[in-house]
Structure 1
Amino acid sequence: MLPLKYLLSLSPIGAPSLESSRSPAPERLQLTGRALVIGSVAAASMAAGVVGASATAVRHGRPAGRRRLAREIARTVARLGPTFIKAAQVLGTRRDVVPAWLCDELSMLQDDVPPMTATQGRTALREAYGDELDEVFVTVEKVPTASGSIACVYRATLLDGGTVALKLRRPGIGPRMAADLALLRRGAALVARLPMFRGVPVREVIDNLCESVLGQIDLGREGRDLGRLREDLGSVPRVLVPRVHPEASRPAAIVMDFVPDLAVDTADRCPPALRRRFAASALTVVYQMLFINGFVHCDLHPGNLYFTRGGQVVVLDAGFSVQLSERMRDLFANFFLNMSIGRGERCAAIVLESAIGVSDDADVGAFTEGVTDLVARSYKLSAKEFSLIAFAGELFDLQRRYGVAASPELVFPLLSLLVVEGTVRSLDPDIDFQETAKPILNRALFGIR
């Protein structure tokens, strides 16, 4: 660990922070320059990708060609940097407006990047704390314990001797991502005018996407969201959300309790009975957020959801969280309840009621009939045969086919279930998603929250 005075003595002044990017909008010249870079990278990458996908389609058929094209699109996104990776991850959930073959690749995008260098870490500390750093920490470890495209996590010691996790935003990333998102919004405005996208809520989808990405840049907001999740999930047995230290946190840094010995493979080394308990607890966490509190962590992949040998479920990283309106929380709970008891027509009505757009040529009757059939078939499946991912994929396909654009408020909560399903199934293949939900649904719809 390095003393703070040593860190500060070597710290160069960093790039402007996110806060500075929020006052005046990015200058037109900056946007033009960034647009040229994005355009050249995308054009060069996709030109080769389209040729390769076309050749694959000729040799192995159109489905193989589409898969190849989807992979090339994902690779292009990865080359464009963290803004586009984050945006593509969110867009990959919108199966109501994006073809399933493309969603499969976008949703799997990984932004595993090298950690910040020692120099970058010192710059990030200076950006976040300025001259106050030695008034908050005694030491900060030089090497991060975790790394992402937006931030890195360091082990640190507070003045009172407490060991904490310090999540630091990468220096200078705020203005660049703000510029990229401004370009995405301008591009969406142009695409929305094309005849082929008439009736598709392109601007609404991109605006919501941009807000989701911006929420992951603002670590001050994420710290408050973690505090909210800790409070909301405090009544759920065996669930831990690390306590945030707001007095030590900043808009570019979150300080929280350090949870030792977290490993993604802990559950693999536990007995079957404990694994089944993990599955039930993880699913209860999602249902509590969806049906009771309405504040939802939408990104509970294995890097944000851990298990301890003591039987606890640990929830981390609330950067991608959404607040449901009371109306939408009630609609989603009713949708899930009616799905679990086989009332397909009511499920279709709820989707239509919550939709942000129905195209001029939408076939509402065919959509309702399709959803009714889907729910009837799913209702008859055993717990082991039922797949929430397959159900959601077919539902979104029906929406896209018949011109019904789902509200992000309905899609993102469903995303939280889709993300966690694989983990829960691996822990307990026999778990019944619908039956496990019923007690919490009854509390949400008929009891006192």
Structure 2
Amino acid sequence: MLLPLNPVRHLRRYHQIGSTFARHGFGFAWDQLQPTLRTRRLGRREGVPAGLPGEALAGHFRLALEELGPTFVKLGQVLSTRPDLLPPAYIEELTRLQDDVPPAAWEAVRAVLIEEYGRPPEEVFASIDPVPIAAASLGQVHAATFPHGTQVVVKVQRANIRETIETDLAILAELAAGAQRTPLGRLYDLPAIVEDFANTLRNELNYHREGRNADRFRENFKNASFVHIPRIYWHYTTERVLVLERISGIKIDNVRAMDAAGVDRKKVALHSARVIIQEVLEDGFFHADPHAGNFVVMMPGEVFGAMDFGMVGYLDEKLRLDLLRLYAAAVDMDATAVVDQLIRMDAVAEEVDRRGLSTDIGRLLDKYRGMTLKEIRAGAVVADIMPVAFRHRLRLPTDLWLLGKTLSMMEGQGLRLDPDFDMFAATEPIVRRMMWRLMLPDRSWGREMAFMAADWAEMARLMPKASAQVLRQAERGELFSLRIKNLDDLCCLLDRVATRLAVSLLITALILGTALLMPMTTGNPLARVLTIAGFVISALLGGWLAFSMLRSARPRPGK
């Protein structure tokens, strides 16, 4: 739940948000919200760039988010995975969001450690470097050493960051409620979007959760010798402090250093591709922030070392099967099948122009017709899908868009390591094995069948008793005990309707029969007279029936 907002208390923050967006050219959007917020003076237009094209305005949107701090930077990162909400130019710009901020003073970091440990950090660690290794909007990382000599890193949350974020989340909830009353609210459930974002951000603030994510990755890759996930030291970890094994190596984008160290870059690219494919198809749990700073190449052996497990994505088995069906329909170049699968996934709104969507998807598929997998780039495919998603408001699960972004980033890193890198070819054996595994029965199917068999056994056990009870009720005439008011009137009405229906069918048969017999009576005067007489009598009866039905349909006096 979002915290209740105190507009007076947070008036300064409101003013900061409104003036920042107005200064970057979004005063018109603020004006849409002001009548509901009763804060007409918050969004003054000083410094609004005039006549900005869409691409430039998208850049100013990113700059405004960066100026407004961690909540809005994280909001931009989430929006970058929602091409159904923003045009492609904005999505592309938001992928460049910078989360690098000046580090907090050591005194503030030390105060947080004292609050969490109940004692100075010097009593916990043999040494801890007051200069951080890295700093981001939510926290920063310091190198430390345990008394027994183990080298670790300590991730410390910024002081008072939770209070700042809760204030911003409350303001965003208020803005979403106001925007819901605008035309945009007819397309999207904006309060629900903000609520989902709030849950995502609060999860990132919980370092216990990040540690559990790391443990889950380590368990998933326990049999992969080419992957290393750092160990979490739970005895020293809290919700605001995360302590984990320190790993070192060459950053995955530092090609020059790899060449100097004699690293086989093709092997590293292959390892990175296999990691993401296993995460997606086998585990349904993937690292969703795969920028170069979060991965290193550890020597010797070109081991792939991963860090920072705060942002992850989930793909349950149903979603993975849906993804495979979409892939199969796309490979068959069947736009109609793609649209049908999107409808089954509830990704298409009821009012969508199905023909237009099918046409757009068909054009997209035609672009890749005849191309080999080696010629297709995941990043280009995702970029081509985004305009279609925005135009038709496709509501695909957020984790699927997050997956598309992850695949694009991993493919980009693979191409930097090896210009001939082909993600599809490198992972084809894994993809094929996983597709069969997902589509064929497994142990979960056996468990479901066992539960179903137990249900049928329970039904068989209860059947004799239930059957005897039904028979007793039938003997007493209580099986279908309905009480209907004015039953006699209803029976009379049904009798009249049935009689008229029977007479109507009889007259229709007579008319059609005599009409068909007329051509056959040529040359037999008597038969022709009798046939004409029958036709006239049938027509008169039909007219009488129609007249009686019209007369009975008139309202009676006093009814």
Alignment deviations for residues 98-127 of structure 1 (CA, whole Å, 9 cap, x no partner): 101111111111121112212122122123
Look up the equivalent residue of 2:289 and give its one-letter code: D
The answer to whether the aligner puts 1:192 opposite 2:189 as a matched pair is no
Which of 153, 161, 183 aligns to 2:141? It is 153
8 Å contact kept, 1:53–1:69: no
8 Å contact kept, 1:219–1:254: yes
Which of 22, 27, 34 aligns to 1:43? It is 22
User: 1:201, CA displacement in angstroms?
Assistant: 4.2
Q: Could you say which structure has the greater relative contact order, defined with CA pairs below 8 angstroms and 6 or more residues apart? A: 1
The answer to whether the aligner puts 1:139 opposite 2:122 as a matched pair is no
8 Å contact kept, 2:62–2:97: yes
> What is residue 358 of structure 1 aligned with on the other side?
349
CA distance in 1, matches of 2:170, 2:206: 16
Alignment deviations for residues 282-341 of structure 1 (CA, whole Å, 9 cap, x no partner): 111111111111112111011112223430111111111122233113222443455456
The answer to whether the aligner puts 1:390 opposite 2:380 as a matched pair is yes
8 Å contact kept, 2:227–2:304: yes
Q: TM (normalized to structure 1)? A: 0.84
The answer to whether the aligner puts 1:428 opposite 2:418 as a matched pair is yes
Q: Give 3-state SS (helix, strand or coil) of 2:131's partner.
A: coil
**CA root-mean-square deviation:** 2.8
User: 1:173, CA displacement in angstroms?
Assistant: 0.5
How high is the sequence identity, in percent, across the aligned residues?
26
CA distance in 2, matches of 1:369, 1:241: 45
Q: Which moved more, 1:193-202 or 1:397-406?
A: 193-202
Look up the equivalent residue of 1:83 and give its one-letter code: T
The answer to whether the aligner puts 1:304 opposite 2:283 as a matched pair is no
The answer to whether the aligner puts 1:176 opposite 2:164 as a matched pair is yes
The answer to whether the aligner puts 1:414 opposite 2:388 as a matched pair is no
Once the two structures are superposed, the pairs formed by residues 8-47 of structure 1 within 5 Å of their partners are 29-46=8-25
The answer to whether the aligner puts 1:275 opposite 2:256 as a matched pair is no
Which of 232, 250, 255 aligns to 2:220? It is 232
CA distance in 2, matches of 1:148, 1:232: 28
> What is residue 291 of structure 1 aligned with on the other side?
281
Change (3 A) 1:123 1:26: farther
CA distance in 1, matches of 2:333, 2:315: 25
Alignment deviations for residues 128-184 of structure 1 (CA, whole Å, 9 cap, x no partner): 323385664232111111111111111112243211011111111111112212222
Look up the equivalent residue of 2:291 and give its one-letter code: H
Look up the equivalent residue of 2:23 and give its one-letter code: A
Look up the equivalent residue of 1:398 and give its one-letter code: V
Q: TM (normalized to structure 2)? A: 0.68
8 Å contact kept, 2:5–2:167: yes
Look up the equivalent residue of 2:218 and give its one-letter code: R
8 Å contact kept, 2:113–2:120: no
Alignment deviations for residues 75-114 of structure 1 (CA, whole Å, 9 cap, x no partner): 1111101110111022022112210111111111112111
CA distance in 1, matches of 2:22, 2:271: 46
> What is residue 243 of structure 2 aligned with on the other side?
255
CA distance in 1, matches of 2:363, 2:133: 49
Change (3 A) 1:442 1:124: same
Alignment deviations for residues 37-89 of structure 1 (CA, whole Å, 9 cap, x no partner): 322333334367985351xx5xxxxxxx1121111111111110111011102
> What is residue 19 of structure 1 aligned with on the other side?
none
The answer to whether the aligner puts 1:320 opposite 2:311 as a matched pair is yes
8 Å contact kept, 1:115–1:144: yes
Change (3 A) 1:28 1:66: closer
Q: Any gaps of 5 or more consecutive residues in structure 1?
A: 1-21, 58-64
Q: How many residues align?
A: 418
Q: Which moved more, 1:336-345 or 1:215-224?
A: 336-345
CA distance in 2, matches of 1:230, 1:93: 26
8 Å contact kept, 1:52–1:68: no
CA distance in 2, matches of 1:25, 1:160: 48
8 Å contact kept, 2:250–2:257: no
8 Å contact kept, 1:151–1:169: yes
CA distance in 2, matches of 1:23, 1:180: 10
Q: Which moved more, 1:208-217 or 1:128-137?
A: 128-137
Look up the equivalent residue of 2:93 and give its one-letter code: E
Q: Any gaps of 5 or more consecutive residues in structure 2?
A: 28-44, 444-559
> What is residue 80 of structure 1 aligned with on the other side?
68
User: 1:212, CA displacement in angstroms?
Assistant: 2.5
Look up the equivalent residue of 1:259 and give its one-letter code: I
8 Å contact kept, 2:249–2:296: no
Q: Which moved more, 1:94-103 or 1:182-191?
A: 182-191
8 Å contact kept, 2:138–2:205: yes
Change (3 A) 1:123 1:273: closer
User: 1:390, CA displacement in angstroms?
Assistant: 2.0
8 Å contact kept, 1:384–1:432: yes
Change (3 A) 1:23 1:392: closer
Look up the equivalent residue of 2:385 and give its one-letter code: L
CA distance in 2, matches of 1:345, 1:110: 40
> What is residue 402 of structure 1 aligned with on the other side?
392
